[in-house]
């Protein structure tokens, strides 16, 4: 690839300039739940990216005076068992550590958390519409929409080498106010005002 503006060759696409927002996500959780002391997270220890994300989450939690309870899971079955063993008052909230294995099972995590009346903080906005309490991060559907434009141009006859790689670095806060009511949480008005997406 020659450059992002002139990729050349047969490559182009969308570049997600993913800044690490784990600390910000933890800070938003603390703002939502000022009394939060212990959060639980699940991640696959065999996934190097997940291990790195867990370390970042651990550091962010420590700076805010929060204990992060880590449950390594190496398969979907182990995740299911860990969720079944989760006790209702064991922790104050669920904090998502991006991990391919756990993210693929997000609906399972959301349902287990709702059953135990646990607030959830995720990294991807669409999960809020599926029942998570909150997320701070990228909108993967929007990234997909931008990617689809490239596909459309190529199908219409453009060459990938002539299509600049598009940067996507937009972050946003999404809140599920219906879930907040279900959990008996009074969402801070300042966060409601900041939210890019709200589920009423």
Which whole number is the average pLDDT over 26-53?
95
* pLDDT 10s digits, 185-197: 999 999 999 999 9
Q: pTM value?
A: 0.81
Its domain, for residue 56, covers 14-140+169-199
pLDDT value, residue 3: 62
Which whole number is the average pLDDT over 37-58?
95
Give domain status of residue 1, yes or no.
no
Number of domains in the chain: 1
The encoded tokens of residue 156 equal 């219409």
Residue predicted with more confidence, 4 or 62: 62
Report yes or no: 131 and 115 within 8 Å, Cβ to Cβ.
Answer: no
Give domain status of residue 50, yes or no.
yes
CA angle centred on 23, ends 86 and 144, rounded to 5° = 85
Q: Is the pLDDT of residue 18 over 60?
A: no
pLDDT value, residue 32: 96
* pLDDT 10s digits, 127-176: 999 999 999 987 665 656 655 666 677 777 777 777 777 766 678 899 99
Give domain status of residue 7, yes or no.
no
Give domain status of residue 163, yes or no.
no
Percent of the chain exceeding pLDDT 90 equals 66
pLDDT value, residue 164: 75
For residue 126, what is the domain's CATH number?
3.40.50.2300
Q: How confident is the model at residue 27 (pLDDT cuts 50, 70, 90)?
A: very high
Report yes or no: 27 and 181 within 8 Å, Cβ to Cβ.
Answer: no
Residue predicted with more confidence, 24 or 5: 24
Give domain status of residue 8, yes or no.
no
Q: Over the chain, what is the mean pLDDT?
A: 87
Which whole number is the average pLDDT over 71-80?
97
Give domain status of residue 155, yes or no.
no
């Amino acid at each position: 690839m020659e450059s992002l503006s002139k990729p050349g060759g047969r490559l182009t696409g969308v570049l997600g300039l993913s800044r690490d927002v784990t600390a910000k996500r933890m800070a938003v959780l603390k703002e939502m739940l000022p009394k939060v002391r212990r959060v639980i997270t699940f991640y696959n220890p065999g996934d190097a990216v997940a291990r790195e994300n867990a370390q970042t989450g651990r550091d962010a939690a420590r700076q805010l005076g929060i204990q992060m309870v880590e449950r390594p899971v190496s398969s979907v079955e182990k995740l299911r068992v860990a969720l079944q063993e989760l006790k209702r008052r064991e922790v104050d909230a669920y904090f998502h550590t991006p991990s391919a294995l756990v993210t693929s099972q997000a609906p399972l995590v959301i349902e287990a958390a709702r059953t135990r009346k646990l607030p959830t903080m995720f990294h991807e906005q669409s999960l809020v519409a599926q029942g998570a309490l909150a997320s701070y991060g990228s909108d993967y559907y929007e990234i997909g929409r931008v990617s689809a434009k490239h596909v459309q141009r190529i199908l219409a006859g453009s060459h990938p080498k002539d299509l600049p790689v598009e940067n996507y670095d937009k972050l946003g806060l999404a809140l599920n106010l219906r879930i907040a009511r279900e959990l008996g949480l009074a969402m801070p008005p300042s966060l409601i005002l900041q939210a890019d997406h709200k589920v009423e």
